Structure 1
């Protein structure tokens, strides 16, 4: 059996002896090797004072006996919580899978447990997902992306230390990409191609999650043009397809659409195809995230790369630093996104 971190248990290898229903303990391992239980505990905690030869003998015996350390109990014994909770707003969006990959790069193997919780709400608001991590007694939460107000995020961080990913929150460790810069680059790219009827397909408005919309609107006004923003009802591709249909059926239909993310861009593609519109011949399209889908042949979506894997990796490092030093200054790590131009954009006909 493989758990959600992709690890196989020693029992799966057929190495655990028959002790009835009683699981192996550190005392069993100690008797097997001929050392004290304290030395076994030191070996599994990575504490100094255990030779490499003895440590290997302990690990080999534990594998034979089917012993697995109880990380939660170890935390209680040390009066220190080492588990890292990871909250993802939308597992349907590839960008969060990339953030997860980055976090896993940062966490040392066999050192910190990672407990995953995903929002079950299509609008990205699910307080229960965060509460489940708090109840699991994690030492810190990496949250990507929280839609709560800054004040509420700070309140949560008083309960459990928190790293906010993809949006900055003053007074909380934050790792994010400069969305204002990215949205401006996307909009200016379409303006430079000669488009004047540029629409923005935004997600539902939430505190801390409207910077891309604001930057697009300001860039349009700076160019002397009227912004045309429409919000999808939720963060699903189906919702973006319905909103795109409304834009494309309007009398002043846009010649270009900049979407909140790549998943929304796929909804626009579907709506355009249903109306016999070609991309980029009839409609230029820019997404955000530079997901794997954007890079597929036949899709070739112009998109803003927010460096999701790097965001996750840095967030993991910040989380470990906070666990090691709870009183350290708050981290504020901002990455600069990059517009990746592909064949989904062209001058208007």
Structure 2
């Protein structure tokens, strides 16, 4: 009869406690995964909750707690598949935990999107995983001082950081094109921001080390459309580049579209390298040579770092770097003058 009455109204923790014969406080501890509850008692509580139809309100539990457990995830741009992979990795790392995951996506590719960040603060998250912040180190440090923060794809001293070695990845991409025989290699990137210049710098350094002149073209946004506009001017004239290394796959696809509009064939007339190794780079017909920064693994590592920070707020900052890998596909080849055996100086 009690269970029939419970179906007519919202079941509470008090109902679960009475069914098991324990205190409501113990039920609350069991749902929060707090210590002091035996495995047998926790199992009995969970079974009773399922039988009665009780739904644990994690948001209410966080409001009642002095240490919120929810994890906020700030993503720069869901149109770029690398951020989808990071999201998948974070979600996977939290699957075994009881922490809610709250997502917020930026509407800006400039400074910190305060609206997106405010939504996470209002949700009373215990920590924010940020992928990726386009702002100065000092502003990010100030943000981290106001709430726990895990910084993804960028390293900042004193802030939990999980990132890939951009200098190594960019150097590998540029050296690949030089080994093929290209001497006119351009780099297409987006607006400069502190902490996001390592690929550009490594490209330039590699070109100079080879005795060649770097040529950096800056698109006004990190979008395919912006790269198409920038590359449309780059890929004309007698001294046009025979190869382009793009900051990411999104920009590489914009360069590819501009080349197609100019009737340039990839890779016969233009070799093309991207960065991120997103799903679209692997599609048949695209076959984009790209640098794999292991975005899924970055998300997993960021999720683990967030859980560790929540468990131990006073621990030293995380500084976790991984090595990217160049994946060679059909978008790169020797330039025509090398392939035909004729001599040409860039």
Task: Verify same fold: TM over 0.5.
Answer: yes
Q: Does structure 1 retain, via aligned residues, the 8 Å contact 2:89–2:299? A: yes
Counterpart residue number, 1:232? 219
> Secondary structure of 2:256's partner?
helix
Match for residue 199 of structure 1 among 182, 186, 199: 186
Corresponding residue SS for 2:55? coil
Q: Deviations over 1:1-25 (max 9, x none)?
A: xxxxxxxxxxxxxxx9787995322
Pair 1:20–1:250, CA change in 2 (3 A):
farther
Q: Which residue of the other structure, out of 197, 211, 226, is the alignment partner of 1:210?
A: 197
Q: CA deviation at 1:56?
A: 3.4
Alignment equivalent of 2:169, drawn from 182, 206, 213 = 182
The residue number in structure 1 matching 2:105 is 118
**SS of the residue 2:102 aligns to:** strand
Which residue of structure 1 aligns with residue 127 of structure 2? Answer: 140
Residues 126-149 of structure 1: CA deviation (Å, up to 9, x unaligned): 221122212222111111111110
Using the TM superposition, give the Cα deviation of residue 122 of structure 1 relative to its aligned residue in structure 2, in angstroms.
5.0
5+ residue gaps in structure 2? 337-346
| Structure 1 segments unaligned to the other structure (5+ residues) | 1-15
3-state DSSP class of the match of 1:207?
coil
Shift of 1:343: 1.1
Q: Residues 248-273 of structure 1, C-alpha deviation per residue, up to 9 Å, x if partnerless?
A: 12442110000010111111111111
CA distance in 2, matches of 1:132, 1:302: 37
* Corresponding residue number in structure 1 for 2:283: 296
CA RMSD of aligned residues (A): 2.1
Change (3 A) 1:188 1:274: same
Cα distance change, pair 61–184 in 1 and its aligned pair in 2 (3 A): same
1:73-84 to 2 correspondence within 5 Å?
73-84=60-71
**Contact persistence 1:124–1:235 (CA under 8 A):** no
Residue aligning to 1:3: none
2:157 corresponding residue in structure 1: 170
Quote the Cα distance in structure 2 between the aligned partners of 1:188 and 1:104. Answer: 35
**TM-score normalized with structure 1 length:** 0.90
Find the aligned partners of 1:96 and 1:124 in 2 and give their Cα distance.
Answer: 18
Residue of structure 2 in register with 1:273 after alignment: 260
Aligned-partner Cα distance in 2 for 1:131–1:328: 26
Choose the corresponding residue for 1:68, options 34, 37, 55: 55
Residue of structure 2 aligned with 1:328, choices 304, 315, 331: 315
Is the 1:304–1:337 contact (alpha carbons within 8 Å) kept by the matching residues of 2?
yes
Q: Does 1:343 align with 2:333?
A: no
2:190·2:222 contact (CA, 8 Å) conserved in 1? yes
1:318-345 residue CA offsets vs partner (Å, 9 max, x unmatched): 1111111111111111111111111110
Name the SS of the counterpart of 2:309 in structure 1.
helix
Preserved contact between residue 76 and residue 109 of structure 2 (Cα < 8 Å): no
1:48 positional shift: 4.2
Deviation string, structure 1 residues 176-211 (Cα, Å, up to 9, x no partner): 111011111111111111111111110111111111
- Per the alignment, residue 101 of structure 1 pairs with 88
Aligned residues between the structures: 334
* 1:333 aligned counterpart, secondary structure: strand
Instruction: Provide the TM-score with structure 2 as the length reference.
Output: 0.90
Asked if the contact 1:17/1:64 (under 8 Å) is kept, the reply is no
Matches within 5 A, 1:280-291: 280-291=267-278
**Does the CA-based 8 Å contact 2:109-2:134 persist in structure 1?**
no
Measure the CA separation in 1 of the matches of 2:50 and 2:168: 52
**Cα-to-partner distance string for 1:6-63 (whole Å, 9 max, x where unaligned):** xxxxxxxxxx978799532211222344433123212212234545454334223323
